[in-house]
Amino acid sequence: MNLKKIFAAFLFISLFCIGANAAEYEQNWNSALKWLATQSNPDASFLQKKGARVGFSCLVLQAWNNAPTDVKKANPEFAALMSKTANYIASQQNPEYGYIADGPEYHNYSTALAVKALAQFDAKKYSELIKKAVVYLKQLQANSSRKFDPNKHITFGGFGYGSTLRPDLSNTWFALSALSAAGVPSSDAVFQNAIIFVKRCQNSTEVNDQPYAGTDGGSMYLPGNSAAGKEKARDGKTIHKSYGSMTSAMLSSYLYCGLKKDAKPVQLASKWLGNNFSVTANPGHQKEGQQALFYYYRALSTALSQYGAENFYGHDWKKDLAGELVKTQTKEGYWVNKEARFSENDPVLCTAYALYSLGLCEK
Transcribe 167-233 into DSSP letters.
Answer: -BHHHHHHHHHHHHHTT--TTSHHHHHHHHHHHTTB--TTT--STT--SS--B-SBTTB-TT-EEE-
User: In this structure, are residues 128 and 119 in contact, taking their beta carbons and an 8 Å threshold?
Assistant: no
Residue 60, pLDDT > 60, answer: yes
- CB within 8 A of 51, min separation 6: which ones? 102, 103, 105, 106
DSSP one-letter code for 315: E
Q: What is the mean pLDDT of residues 86-107?
A: 94
Phi and psi for 343 in degrees, rounded to 5? 65, 20
Q: How confident is the model at residue 24 (pLDDT cuts 50, 70, 90)?
A: low
Q: What is the mean pLDDT of residues 179-201?
A: 98
User: In this structure, are residues 336 and 329 in contact, taking their beta carbons and an 8 Å threshold?
Assistant: no
DSSP one-letter code for 48: S
Range scoring the smallest mean pLDDT among 17-31, 260-274, 303-317: 17-31
pLDDT (tens digit per residue) in 220-243: 999 999 999 998 878 788 899 999
**Domains in the chain, CATH or no CATH each:** 30-139 (1.50.10.20), 144-276 (no CATH)
pTM here? 0.92
End-to-end CA distance of the chain: 35
pLDDT (tens digit per residue) in 320-347: 999 999 999 999 999 999 999 999 999 9
Computed over every residue of the chain, the mean pLDDT equals: 92
| Element containing residue 230 per DSSP (H, E) | strand 230-232
Phi and psi for 328 in degrees, rounded to 5? -100, 0
Cα separation, 87 vs 148, in Å, equals: 36
Q: Where are the alpha helices (H) located in 68-126, listed in sequence order?
A: 69-74, 76-91, 107-122
